Amino acid sequence: MTLKLLSLLIITCLAIQLNGDGRRYVWTYEYQTLPSGDAELESYTGFSHIDTDGGRLATTSLQYEYEIGMNDRFDVGIYQIFNQTSRAPLEYDGFKIRMRYRLGEKGQWPMDPLLYLEYKDNAAFERSVLETKLILARDFDRFNIALNPILELEFAAAETEFNFEYTAGLSFRLHPLLSLGLETKGSTEEFYWGPTLSHGQDHLWFAIGLLTPGTSGSSVDRRIRFILGVGL
């Protein structure tokens, strides 16, 4: 039944004609920024769950991003974030401001580099996090590989906590509008991996991914993320 549904989804995706160049991954960033003057709205919907002694605890995360291309190498985005668990109502969880800058053009280095800087906080400005990423990616015909090492600095009271994480992806473009891939996400303590499907291009696209733990003792048992992008 699952195979039939997946086949129907792929056939439907191929039949719909869209325009442009959307994202291949849902956790991993590629080597791209919005062109100068372009704007886009993105909706992120995430689900995760873990089994506890008190039963299954499920969490839903909603993020809404507005981004704009400042020039052909630099873009800026702002997020509004909401979270809900199966034991509590939906509540506002804070905001993020992020900037991306491409270093050069595709093909100048063995892995094309992009700098990413993000600031996160809640409405009371008491949960500040600064996140930096080095986005490395490269296209090989229809294949794409991407790696994002991440350094996160969390400021709480008089202490600063450093966390290292990473995401990575491998994707193959089956059709100009359809890509299938594999993503990983981890840290020094956890590792997740799973499939990703993306469809569409520039001004109308979506991507969906599933991650499952590759190690014991992970903080959640499953992660699902769906992103929808609409150009303005």
Interior/surface letters 57-79, b for 16+ CB within 10 angstroms, e for the rest: eebbbebebebebbeebebebeb
Name the more confident of 55 and 184: 184
Mean pLDDT value of segment 157-181: 93
pLDDT given at position 22: 75
d(CA 118, CA 138): 23
Mean pLDDT value of segment 117-141: 94
Work out the percent of the chain whose per-residue pLDDT is above 70. 90
The parent domain of residue 36 ranges over 2-220
Confidence of residue 2 (pLDDT cuts 50, 70, 90): very low
**Nearest one of 169, 168, 171 to 149, comparing CA atoms:** 168
Residue 115 lies in a domain: yes
pLDDT in tens, 35-65: 999 999 999 999 998 877 767 789 999 999 9
pLDDT given at position 18: 38
pLDDT given at position 52: 74
Residue 199 lies in a domain: yes
For the cut 80, the answer to whether the pLDDT of residue 188 exceeds it is yes
What is the DSSP secondary-structure string of 79-131? EEEEEEETTEEEEEEEEEEEEEEE-S-TTSSSSEEEEEEEEEE-TTS-SEEEE
pLDDT in tens, 110-128: 999 999 999 999 988 888 9
pLDDT given at position 19: 38
Name the average pLDDT for the chain: 89
Both tokens assigned to 82: 């909401």
Residue 148 lies in a domain: yes
Residue 230 lies in a domain: no
Residue 187 lies in a domain: yes
Residue 167 lies in a domain: yes
- 21: domain CATH number? 2.40.160.40
Confidence of residue 5 (pLDDT cuts 50, 70, 90): very low
The pTM (predicted TM-score) of the whole model is 0.86
Confidence of residue 216 (pLDDT cuts 50, 70, 90): confident
- Report the number of distinct structural domains present in the chain: 1
For the cut 70, the answer to whether the pLDDT of residue 1 exceeds it is no
Work out the percent of the chain whose per-residue pLDDT is above 90. 72
Residue 32 lies in a domain: yes
Both tokens assigned to 134: 């080095």
For the cut 50, the answer to whether the pLDDT of residue 108 exceeds it is yes
Task: Indicate the residue type of 88.
Answer: A
SS3 content of the chain, % helix, strand, coil (to 5): 5, 65, 30
- CA neighbours closer than 13 Å in the CB half-sphere of residue 176: 9
pLDDT in tens, 67-97: 999 999 999 999 999 999 988 899 999 999 9
d(CA 6, CA 16): 16
CA distances from residue 170 to 20, 85, 143 in whole angstroms, order as listed = 20, 31, 7
Task: Indicate the residue type of 90.
Answer: L
Residue with tokens 């966390």: 163
Residue 72 lies in a domain: yes
d(CA 66, CA 43): 9
Other Cβ atoms less than 10 A from the Cβ of 88: the count is 9
- CA neighbours closer than 13 Å in the CB half-sphere of residue 125: 0
pLDDT in tens, 10-37: 444 444 443 334 799 999 999 999 999 9
